[in-house]
Structure formats: C-alpha cells, structure tokens
Amino acid sequence: MWKEAVILTAAAGCACLARSEYERKHFSVESVQMASGKLIQDRCLVFLSDLHNNEFGSENGKLVETIFRLKPDAVLVGGDMIVTKGKGQGDTRVALSLMKALSSRIPVFYGNGNHENRMVWQRHVYGTQYEEFKAALEAMGIVCLENETAALGEDILITGVDLEPRFYRKAFFQKAPAMEEDYLYKKLGRTDRRKFHILLAHSPLYFKNYAAWGADLTLSGHFHGGTVRLPVLGGVMTPQYQFFLPWCAGDFQMKGSRMIVSRGLGTHSINIRFNNKPQLVVIQLKKK
C-alpha cells in the first residue's frame, strides 16, 4: 500500500511542477477600468511589474507583440524587471531588450522596485551598475521616475517612489514597519489634486499612505501573487515571508483612491507559480 502512496505522491508532485513550468511561460491579459472627472480624455495604459528576467518567447517577442496589439497610450513599469544576485551581479540584459522594443513605439515610464534600488543601496557591491542601467533606459527615451513626477498629457501625472530598504525587510510572522505620515510628502512633495495622479509604488503594503498622499491610482507588485494561489485563501507566501497576505494581488479601494496589485510576470528565488499565471495588466481610464 505504501508503494502506491509514494507513486501517487510523486506523480502529483510531477504534475504540479509541470503545471508550474507551464504557468511561468504563459501570461494572461487582464483589464481593469477606472473613471474620473479629472480626466479630459480616455486612455489605455499597460502596467508591467516583476519580470525578473523572465522571457515569453525569444527576446520576449510574445509579450511585445501582445502589448503592441493593445495599442496603449503608455507603458508603466512598476519595478523588479531585473534580477540582482549576490557578489554584485545585476542582470539587466532581458529588461533592457524588452524596454528597447517597447519604447521604439510607445512612451514608457519606469518606476523602480527593490531589485533596482538594491544596486543603489549596496553601491559598494554593485558599483555603477544602477547608473549604467538608468542611462541606458534614458538613452531609449524612457522616463525614469526616481522619486520624480512626469506628465502624460495635460491631465495625468505619474510619480515613481523609491522606498527605503526597511520597507522590504523579511517579515516572517512580524508586521512590516509602519510608514511615517509625512514620509511621502518629504520624498515626493505634494500632489496637484486637480490632475489624475498615478503612483508607481512597488510595495502594496502602504496603500493607506499612498491614498492619504493623494494618489488616485496606485500601481504595485512585489508579491508575485503569493507564489501559489488557493481558492478563497488567495496567495500563500510573499517574498517577505508573509503568509496569506490579502495584498498579494488584486484590486483595492480606499477613500476614493484605488490600488491595482499585479501578480507580476516572473519569479525570483522561489521559482514556482501555481494557479497564479503571470499577469499583464491593461488599465482603461475613462473620463467622467
């Protein structure tokens, strides 16, 4: 009897691994819609996050083709498109290839995640790799938002915030550190409440702060959808070792502000996805 149990367990394990490998290489396109009286015209935006050097076809050809077919007004990047490893190895090749293809036809706004920021935090390890990466993006015409704001037309502002390392520390069963009420004001200044403001904030843990600062729409990622997603319970574990965290992925609202948390496009460290396909987010903004 025990032999049959071992065989069944092994077969189930192999099936799960095969499904995981399939999901890692097949993304889904998912649309959300938001209306605002601050908008003077409709827009279509594509949001990318957490690629971590994953590729969908040669040179990410399938991903690029899909985005071009959507004909967005802009591509917004939420960070962690690259991978930083120990001993100062920052791998940016895949991200730069994708950004070059997209920026040839579409305006791209790039916000950092903890992997891009790590090259700055640990400059003694990574040297000038971040500066070289940013310079390469800007040479393509990409707008890099390093605690900065840029305009998209007359009615939309896009801001990227670089959070400090303490906000990404491994939590296990502990609470993440609180964000001071004036933290975003000190880093970013105040918002122009007359315009529709999009905030690229890699970690979704601080939605309350983002909403209070004045973001109409916050775009986040970081948690990879929780790695494995279970019915009702949602994502199992985040990269910060938080379990069944509600903010792993989804659409959230608070006091007139909205946050979209992408499941991301890749994996890192724990290279598993189950019931958790990579996600390409399409945002339809409608004037009201």
Q: Of residues 16 and 183, which shows the higher confidence score?
A: 183
The amino acid at 266: G
pLDDT at residue 89, as a whole number: 77
Tokens 């315009």 correspond to what residue?
195
Nearest to 131 by CA among 116, 142, 141: 116
How many domains is the chain partitioned into structurally?
A: 1
CATH code at position 14 = 3.60.21.10
Single pTM value for the model: 0.94
Strands (E), 97-137: 108-111
Nearest to 167 by CA among 121, 219, 199: 121
The amino acid at 205: L
For the stretch 77-88, pLDDT in tens is 999 999 998 777
250 pLDDT more than 70 = yes
Mean pLDDT of 65-69: 98
DSSP annotation of 93:
H
Helix (H) or strand (E) holding 249: none
Nearest to 191 by CA among 157, 147, 217: 157
Mean pLDDT of 219-225: 95
Judge whether 207 and 259 are in contact, CB under 8 Å.
yes
pLDDT at residue 6, as a whole number: 47
For the stretch 35-56, pLDDT in tens is 999 999 999 999 999 999 999 9
Q: Of residues 103 and 19, which shows the higher confidence score?
A: 103
228 pLDDT more than 90 = no
Which domain does 73 fall in, by range? 2-287
For the stretch 122-151, pLDDT in tens is 999 999 999 999 999 999 999 999 999 999
Tokens coding 257:
């502000």
For the stretch 157-180, pLDDT in tens is 999 999 999 999 877 666 788 999
